[in-house]
Structure 1
Amino acid sequence: MAGREVYETVEACRRSLRDGDYKEAADLYDVAIRKVTTVLRTVPSSDMDIYEKIIAMLEKERSKLKENDILLNEKLILEASTPEAPPADPNVWPEPDRSRSKSVNRNRASKPPRITRANEGKKEVGKPTKKPAPAAPPKRRPGYDDLNKDATKPEDESMEKEDNDKEYFISLGYDRDLVTIMESTMLRNLSNVTWDSVAGLQSTKDLFINTVILPSIMPDFFKGLRRPWKAVCMVGPPGTGKTLLAKAVAAESKTTFFSVACGDLASKWRGDAEKMVKLLFEMARHYAPSTIFIDEIDTIGSQRGGANEHEASRRLKAQLLVEMDGFSNSDETKRVFVLAATNHPWILDEALRRRFEKRIYIPLPDKETRLALLESALKEMKVCEELSLPQISELLEGFSGADVLNVCRQAAFVGFSRLTKGLSFDQITQMSKDKPNTFDIPITMEHFQEALSSTNPSVSIESVQEYEDWMRKYGAS
């Protein structure tokens, strides 16, 4: 629950209190305390003190409210049993309350009142006193029902809806610090990443559309043998767009995205790594449909049984295998899709490799993909008309997507470096003030040639051959 909702609930309690509707105010205080207590279970440890103070404040106000309600009821009873015209002389005691006397005959006529100096000389005294009419119930604040219709119900529809939405993960049995670590890996807003953000890889996109996107749109059709894939591993050289492709899959499928690195699952305490793996999958099921992306999975999923393998590493792998093989047995509506990426597929454990039903190859960009990358990188830059992007695309044969972007950045700085060569810092500053567009030089073919002369591909031909050999042996695309 957001802080704004806490503020509005407390304000509604206090408005009802000011209007005199103590019963409604008491019910609202109970609802507010329950809601803040629910939020207290999910906030980080650094914010717990704030919500605990809010709960203490609400309980204190509620106790004062009940005391005022009791005093008000006693006052109403006293006013109802007190004569309308009390004695004027403070030294004269009032007439005893006959309604509380057990020996008084109610049908007996009342005795004449005692004559004092205050009422001496009056013609008519001793009239039976009338009890005041009961006070009209206080008017409810106009528009209150529109603000919080069912806040006075202890188990109302709004609370049930909040529980059904499962906005917060209740971390029962887990340390709050572990929950905080896992929540830091969760990305909810990926609307800025689409298929267009990934240049090329059309066959890979089609595979994800048929195996991930469409099953979320047509769940009734994708059942049995057509059930969606549970886990996919992307294999390929570094810098080919595996991470960006994973974000696009999560964004297009409208799922909660968990981006997990090996450091997120590491802990110096015994048993915490396994707990974090289990907690990760429980949170993914809670926020389902979800996508868990494990980057560089070879760092935690290498082959077991090695001489240098630590016991904690074996337990972590065992827990990961259990979760990947076991979460499909839960509710089918809570779908969790595991997506992994690795640059070293040949060191993956066999059991882990088997659990990835799809093992797809993300190769180096081809000519068309390199051309799309160049157009995307240079769309906001000034480019010389004589610059031939198809020709540059051919010169970038063997470069990864990250290498292509680095070449473009270096080419964009060539003109600036030539213009400012030999100038002092003060001269450069003065030029930028006098002529701001002086340094915005169009990128030419010569700039790219100079950038290519000092930049080599980050992936060797031998490495590409190793990936292709592994895919021929273990690939499943």
Structure 2
Amino acid sequence: MEWEISESYRAAKEAALRRKYDQSALFLRTALSLIERRLNSISVDDPNKDQLVKVKSVLKLNVERMNGIADVVSQMRQMAGVTISSSPIDAPPSDPDVWPLPPLTKKTSAIPSPKSAAKKQTYSRVDNKTKKSSVGKSPCTSAGCRNITKRANSLGRASMSELSEVTPKEEGDNNSNEKGGNEKVFDDRGFDKELVEIIERDIMQKRPDVHWNDIAGLDEAKKLLKEAVILPSVMPNFFKGIRRPWRGVCMVGPPGTGKTMLAKAVATESQTTFFCVSSATLTSKYRGDSEKLVQLLFKMARFYAPSTIFIDEIDSLCSRRGADSEHEASRRVKSELLTQMDGCSPDVSRVLVLAATNFPWDLDEALRRRLEKRIYIPLPDKTNRFQLLKLALAEVSIDEEVNLETVADSLDGYSGADITNVCREAAMMSMRVRIANLTAEEIKALKQEEVDLPITSNDFSQAIQNTSPSVSSTDVQKYEKWIHDFGAA
């Protein structure tokens, strides 16, 4: 009997593929009657009874939906005045000496086209009132019909255990679709669902636990970012007209000076919607999708305004145009980014583009003009190095003989990341000396007090000797020259 049920599923699948929904419903009812007969023949204690009951409920749901599809198709044909006959008399004449046309091959793509996305109103978001009002209507909506078609395609391959797993999954989908409509939801009609999900994943839901006080120095950069991001939300009536907020801020400096930390502090302290994107987010192997991603990013940013778009390593996304090695696809992406930032696009006064780069001399001239504020994030001076040491060593114990000011003097030319690495290296020195020549069991038996010893001056000296600065003086001169020529603080 299981073979007969499987054959009925296969026949229902083939009928659904041929768009014979009446026949598909008939085969499903046949399978349903076979399952009912099987349930009547087995005992109450049979271990397969629960599984058969679940399959029966799924089949009933499929039969109802398939009947709904058939009714809707019949109504649409009546409204359009189309009569389709299966009689061979109504078939078009054919010449046996002429070969028929080859069948049309449907090309599929990993990302659906925007036309199909506009026709299929699958992911148009509606509120609870609309959903409740549509409960009593026909069970075949556009989304429902497509779900049934997908389910019919898989009936021939589905086993009894696979069908029993459909019910909890569908219940979970229904629960997820019945969320409250009070939340502000972006209208994604006209865009591919996959592209919308890519941008939504880059909206930072959980704020990073980085505050202004966690960053040593950089007072000018903090002041500018507060003026560009935080103050417009606090004083909206002041930032109007010529006093409008800055639309673009570019942080320029050597690696490891705190540019990304400043962006994290903006995401934590500000009340704006924070988009953290990179070149990987805005690139796609499909032609035209990269431009759509850029357009969709700014459209969503305007919808969730006030918003901040942070683009790290922006030189990899919008380098200088006109180079011999430039690809045509990357040029289109750059043009779309420039248009969205400042062009004939809608008002973007409530959207701030916050960029960071280590290669400012590779930026395109038009992008450099749109990034109105170009600030230099330099290597830390002695005062900032001393603050960095205190922040990095706040959770460890330091020997009383250690003079942090002397250590800060010896770290001239080191970036913030280099100083953090030196502190980490110094904090590990005592542990390395203690566990030398010990086995894993002996190390495990050590007490915390024997390993966690205060950091000494010798530890700092050895750590500084083992760690060289990552930024050369030649690079610093290049940054200073560029900021002197093109800086706007």
What is the CA distance between 1:387 and its match in structure 2? Answer: 1.0
Letter in 2 for 1:379: A
From 202, 207, 217, the equivalent of 2:234 is 217
Within 5 Å, which residues of 2 pair with 1:149-228? 162=182, 165-166=183-184, 168-190=185-207, 192-228=209-245
Structure 2 unmatched ranges of 5 or more: 1-128, 145-165
Q: Deviations over 1:23-61 (max 9, x none)?
A: xxxx99725969xx9xx99xxxxxx99886568899xxx
Q: Distance in 2 between matches of 1:57 and 1:470?
A: 56
Q: Do residues 280 (structure 1) and 297 (structure 2) align?
A: yes
What is the CA distance between 1:171 and its match in structure 2? Answer: 1.8
Within 5 Å, which residues of 2 pair with 1:38-53? none
1:113 matched residue in structure 2: none
Distance 1:49 1:411, change over 3 A: farther
Q: Do residues 345 (structure 1) and 447 (structure 2) align?
A: no
From 30, 43, 46, the equivalent of 2:132 is 30
Q: Distance in 2 between matches of 1:189 and 1:331?
A: 25
Aligned residue pairs, count = 334
From 458, 476, 482, the equivalent of 1:464 is 476
From 412, 422, 436, the equivalent of 1:421 is 436
What is the CA distance between 1:172 and its match in structure 2? Answer: 1.4
Within 5 Å, which residues of 2 pair with 1:103-118? none
Letter in 2 for 1:30: K
From 290, 299, 302, the equivalent of 2:316 is 299
From 420, 424, 433, the equivalent of 1:409 is 424
Distance 1:401 1:49, change over 3 A: farther
TM-score, with structure 1 as normaliser: 0.65
Letter in 2 for 1:464: V
Within 5 Å, which residues of 2 pair with 1:142-153? none
1:442 matched residue in structure 2: 454
1:367 matched residue in structure 2: 382
Within 5 Å, which residues of 2 pair with 1:226-265? 226-265=243-282
Distance 1:236 1:469, change over 3 A: same
Q: Deviations over 1:110-156 (max 9, x none)?
A: xxxxxxxxxxxxxxxxxxxxxxxxxxxxxxxxxxxxxxxxxxxxxxx
Q: Distance in 2 between matches of 1:394 and 1:353?
A: 36
2:115 matched residue in structure 1: none
From 326, 347, 370, the equivalent of 1:309 is 326
Partner SS, residue 263 of structure 1: coil
Partner SS, residue 276 of structure 2: strand
Kindly indicate whether the alpha-carbon contact (under 8 Å) linking 2:341 and 2:348 is maintained by their aligned counterparts in 1.
no
1:454 matched residue in structure 2: 466
Distance 1:173 1:248, change over 3 A: same
What is the CA distance between 1:302 and its match in structure 2? Answer: 0.6
1:430 matched residue in structure 2: 445
Q: Distance in 2 between matches of 1:428 and 1:349?
A: 56
Aligned-residue RMSD, C-alpha: 2.9
Q: Do residues 390 (structure 1) and 405 (structure 2) align?
A: yes
Structure 1 unmatched ranges of 5 or more: 1-26, 42-47, 59-157
Q: Distance in 2 between matches of 1:197 and 1:443?
A: 22
Distance 1:327 1:425, change over 3 A: farther
What is the CA distance between 1:188 and its match in structure 2? Answer: 2.9
Distance 1:436 1:291, change over 3 A: same
TM-score, with structure 2 as normaliser: 0.64
Q: Deviations over 1:367-425 (max 9, x none)?
A: 11111111111111011111111111111111111001000001111111111111222
Distance 1:425 1:323, change over 3 A: same
Query: Which of the two has higher C-alpha Rg?
Result: 1
Q: Distance in 2 between matches of 1:54 and 1:180?
A: 19
Q: Do residues 473 (structure 1) and 485 (structure 2) align?
A: yes
Letter in 2 for 1:467: Y
Q: Distance in 1 between matches of 2:305 and 2:135?
A: 29
Q: Distance in 2 between matches of 1:273 and 1:473?
A: 32
Distance 1:378 1:33, change over 3 A: farther
1:399 matched residue in structure 2: 414
What is the CA distance between 1:329 and its match in structure 2? Answer: 3.8
Q: Distance in 1 between matches of 2:445 and 2:175?
A: 60
Letter in 1 for 2:408: S
Distance 1:32 1:369, change over 3 A: farther
Q: Deviations over 1:82-116 (max 9, x none)?
A: xxxxxxxxxxxxxxxxxxxxxxxxxxxxxxxxxxx
Distance 1:55 1:255, change over 3 A: closer
Kindly indicate whether the alpha-carbon contact (under 8 Å) linking 2:247 and 2:348 is maintained by their aligned counterparts in 1.
no
Letter in 1 for 2:332: R
Partner SS, residue 246 of structure 2: coil
What is the CA distance between 1:190 and its match in structure 2? Answer: 2.0
Partner SS, residue 452 of structure 1: helix
Letter in 1 for 2:472: S
Letter in 2 for 1:394: D
Q: Distance in 2 between matches of 1:256 and 1:235?
A: 23
Q: Distance in 2 between matches of 1:281 and 1:240?
A: 28
Kindly indicate whether the alpha-carbon contact (under 8 Å) linking 1:33 and 1:55 is maintained by their aligned counterparts in 2.
no
Letter in 2 for 1:450: Q
Distance 1:423 1:175, change over 3 A: same
Q: Distance in 2 between matches of 1:351 and 1:175?
A: 29
Kindly indicate whether the alpha-carbon contact (under 8 Å) linking 1:187 and 1:257 is maintained by their aligned counterparts in 2.
yes
Distance 1:343 1:426, change over 3 A: same
What is the CA distance between 1:250 and its match in structure 2? Answer: 3.2
Q: Distance in 1 between matches of 2:355 and 2:320?
A: 16
Letter in 2 for 1:277: V
Distance 1:393 1:172, change over 3 A: same
Q: Distance in 2 between matches of 1:306 and 1:325?
A: 23
